[in-house]
């Protein structure tokens, strides 16, 4: 594991900003850096002074919301700002938060992460998962001797950098980190924060109109988009169409089913995207901790773009009712079942794929499902000495990753016949390099078949009976397992 300590001296050598971050106070643990920065600011600390902590036990975000800041290896920092007295108010507050979000966005994009979006008003999202949040708190305290008169403000930045989001139950559904997006690669926080400080200093010099233009360029929400609106005053929610965002950070919405136009801001309303497609995970029988459908639900909600897709369960006996097909993009089959059970629903699923739908089968389901069993080339019960684990190589763009991924298996693993038009996603690391995962065209749709169960990772492996070796390897390779699923999504046009 990489060294998680933050090198203050290294950062200060890298920081090219004139004021932002030139003074940095660093703590291993604190309640909240926002209060630490306020105390320093009230005692005369300079504009740009930063307070960073590895862990915050009582971190707060916008609207006094609590959030998890208990993982090390991130950037949890508050920065003292001296703002012109006339700039007080929500417009100035939003403008400063946007300046910070765009500073971080640029630094993240420079790392090769291109799909990061600004989410109104003060977050950065990737695939519907929060990467960073920003908060400006104004303090009723004037800076002595400032001309023009300035007041104290505290800018908070919370950026997930080197966290393994998988390590926190439930968090992976909501958040991501730079390390997750770079498939396990650690990032120098010193270099990253130095770049953020420089970008922020430049952004604070820009006009509001310039920041607004950049914000809209990277914004998750666009005019004409249908969204869900939550009223923070009466807790009601309703659908609406975005008409426009204005450079005073207000938005204009048209309420669904009426001609009512709302113009307001995030002080009173919260905006959420409405996914346009559904992914169904077939659920059959049990729903215990080792159920494939349960494990896959956690993985899909962690990795899929939740701004575009809703992930739901679909019971096996409901497949014959074709209503589910209306908004469905992908059906996932993994739970074991008898071949006779699938025969009852085979025609409905076959029609779905023939008409352009996507199907993903895993493990034993590939061998018993009528559409896919014809492609199964080999069944093998003779596993390596891993006692239920097998090594595979992942392919991307025709190149193999040098590092192999250990994966758990139920009882048996399968390989497949392929044609030149097929897209091979993974091969077993056996003497013959049998195909472990392949995507095929089927009618107007596509089918991806996986001969093993990649939904088992180091978080859930202990739920399985018996002694499972390679736990360490599973943890070290969890990000490559994520990459394997991303390749599946791409091959099925669900990315």
The domain boundary residue, chosen from 273, 308, 338: 273
Closest CA to 68 of 2, 167, 185: 167
Q: Are 202 and 267 part of one and the same domain?
A: no
Residues 284 and 431 in one domain: yes
The alpha carbons of the chain give a radius of gyration, in whole angstroms, of 25
User: What distance in Å separates the CA atoms of residue 246 and residue 10, rounded to the nearest whole number?
Assistant: 41
Quote the CA–CA distance of 273 and 42 in Å, as a whole number.
40
* 350 and 242 fall within a common domain: no
- Domain residues for 478? 277-491
At 68, which CATH number? 3.30.930.10
Same domain? For 194 and 287 the reply is no
Q: What is residue 127's three-state secondary structure?
A: coil
Domain match, 265 and 293 both: no
Residues 238 and 364 placed together within one structural domain of the fold: no
- Contact between 454 and 390 (Cβ < 8 Å): no
40 with 174, same domain: the answer is yes
Same domain (yes/no): 51, 26: yes
pLDDT digits (tens, 9 = 90+) for 438-478: 999 999 999 999 988 888 776 766 665 554 555 666 666 77
**Beta strand extents in 57-128 (DSSP E only):** 75-84, 116-119, 123-126
User: pLDDT averaged over the chain?
Assistant: 86
Query: Last residue of some domain: 217, 238, 256?
Result: 217
Residues 255 and 299 in one domain: no
Sheet holding 116-119, edge to edge: 24-30, 50-56, 75-84, 150-159, 129-142, 123-126, 116-119
pLDDT of residue 385: 43
Q: Residue 244 maps to which CATH number?
A: 2.30.30
Kindly state whether residue 319 falls inside one of the protein's structural domains.
Answer: yes
Task: Output the pTM of the full model.
Answer: 0.90
- Tell whether 353 is covered by a domain: yes
Between CA 482 and CA 477 the distance in angstroms is: 9
Tokens coding 122: 């003060």
Asked, for residue 28, whether it belongs to a domain, the answer is yes
Residue 2 lies in a domain: no
In whole angstroms, what is the distance from residue 163 CA to residue 216 CA?
A: 29
Residues 155, 186, single domain; the answer is: yes
3 within a domain of the structure (yes/no): no
Beta-strand pair 150-159/129-142: antiparallel
Give the whole-angstrom CA distance, residue 95 versus residue 105.
15
The Cα–Cα gap between 333 and 355 comes to 18
Residues 196 and 238 in one domain: no
Considering the domain boundaries, does residue 448 fall inside one?
Answer: yes
Query: Is position 429 within any domain?
Result: yes
Instruction: Give the per-residue pLDDT at 1.
Output: 45
Write out the two tokens for 243: 């008409």
Domain end among 185, 217, 249: 217
Dist. CA 56–CA 172, nearest whole Å: 19
Q: Which two tokens stand for residue 379?
A: 């069944």
CATH number of the domain encompassing residue 361: 3.40.50.880
* 297 and 326 part of one domain: yes
pLDDT, tens digit only, all 495 positions of the chain: 445 689 999 999 999 999 999 999 999 999 999 999 999 999 999 999 999 999 988 776 655 555 555 567 999 999 999 988 766 678 899 999 999 999 999 999 999 999 999 999 889 999 999 999 999 999 988 888 888 888 999 999 999 999 888 777 678 899 999 999 998 899 999 999 999 999 999 999 999 999 999 999 999 999 999 999 999 888 899 999 999 999 999 999 999 999 899 999 988 999 999 999 999 999 876 566 667 888 899 899 999 999 999 999 998 888 888 899 999 999 999 866 565 567 677 889 999 999 999 999 988 888 888 889 899 987 776 555 443 445 566 655 554 554 455 555 556 788 899 999 999 988 887 777 788 899 999 999 999 999 888 887 767 666 655 545 556 666 667 787 888 899 999 999 998
Count: domains in the chain: 3
1, part of any domain: no
């Amino acid at each position: 594991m990489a060294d998680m300590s933050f090198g203050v001296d290294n950062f200060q050598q890298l920081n090219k900003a004139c004021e932002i971050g030139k003074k940095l106070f660093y703590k291993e643990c604190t309640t909240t850096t926002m209060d630490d920065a306020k105390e320093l600011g009230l005692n005369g600390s300079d504009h740009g002074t930063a307070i960073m902590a590895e862990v915050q036990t009582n971190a707060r975000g916008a609207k006094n919301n609590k959030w998890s800041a208990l993982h090390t290896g991130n950037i949890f920092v508050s920065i003292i700002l001296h703002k012109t007295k006339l700039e007080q108010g929500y417009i100035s507050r939003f403008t400063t938060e946007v300046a910070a979000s765009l500073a971080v966005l640029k630094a993240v994009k420079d790392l090769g992460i291109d799909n990061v979006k600004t989410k109104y008003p003060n977050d950065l999202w990737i695939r519907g998962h929060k990467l960073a949040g920003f908060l400006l708190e104004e303090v009723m305290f004037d800076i002595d001797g400032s001309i023009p008169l300035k007041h104290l403000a505290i800018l908070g930045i919370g950026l997930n950098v080197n966290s393994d989001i998988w390590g926190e139950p439930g968090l992976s559904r909501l958040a991501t980190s730079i390390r997750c997006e770079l498939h396990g690669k650690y990032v120098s926080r010193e270099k990253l924060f130095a770049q953020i400080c420089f970008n922020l200093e430049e952004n604070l010099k820009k006009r509001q109109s310039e920041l607004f233009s950049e914000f809209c360029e990277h914004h998750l929400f666009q005019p004409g988009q249908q969204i869900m609106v939550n009223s923070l005053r009466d807790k009601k929610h309703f659908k609406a169409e975005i008409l426009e965002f204005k450079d005073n950070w207000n938005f204009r919405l048209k309420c669904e089913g009426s001609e009512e136009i709302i113009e307001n801001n995030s002080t009173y309303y919260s905006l959420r995207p409405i996914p346009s497609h559904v992914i169904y995970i077939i659920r059959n029988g049990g729903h215990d901790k080792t159920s494939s459908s349960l494990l896959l639900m956690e993985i899909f909600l962690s990795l899929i773009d939740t701004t575009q897709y809703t992930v739901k369960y679909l019971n096996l006996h409901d497949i014959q009712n074709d209503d589910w097909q209306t908004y469905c993009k992908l059906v996932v089959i993994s739970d074991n079942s008898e071949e006779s059970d699938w025969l009852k629903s085979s025609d409905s699923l076959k029609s779905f794929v023939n008409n352009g739908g996507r199907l993903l089968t895993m493990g034993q389901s590939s061998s018993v499902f009528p559409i896919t069993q014809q492609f199964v080339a080999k069944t093998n019960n003779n596993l390596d000495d891993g006692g239920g684990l097998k090594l595979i190589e992942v392919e991307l763009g025709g190149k193999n990753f040098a590092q192999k991924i250990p994966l758990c298996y139920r009882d048996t693993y399968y390989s497949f016949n392929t044609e030149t038009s097929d897209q091979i996603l993974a091969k077993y690391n056996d003497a013959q390099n049998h195909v472990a995962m392949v995507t095929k065209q089927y009618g107007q749709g596509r089918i991806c078949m996986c001969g093993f169960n990649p939904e088992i990772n180091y978080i859930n492996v202990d739920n399985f009976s018996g002694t499972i070796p390679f736990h360490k390897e599973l943890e070290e390779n969890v990000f490559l397992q994520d990459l394997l699923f991303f390749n599946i999504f791409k091959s099925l046009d669900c990315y």
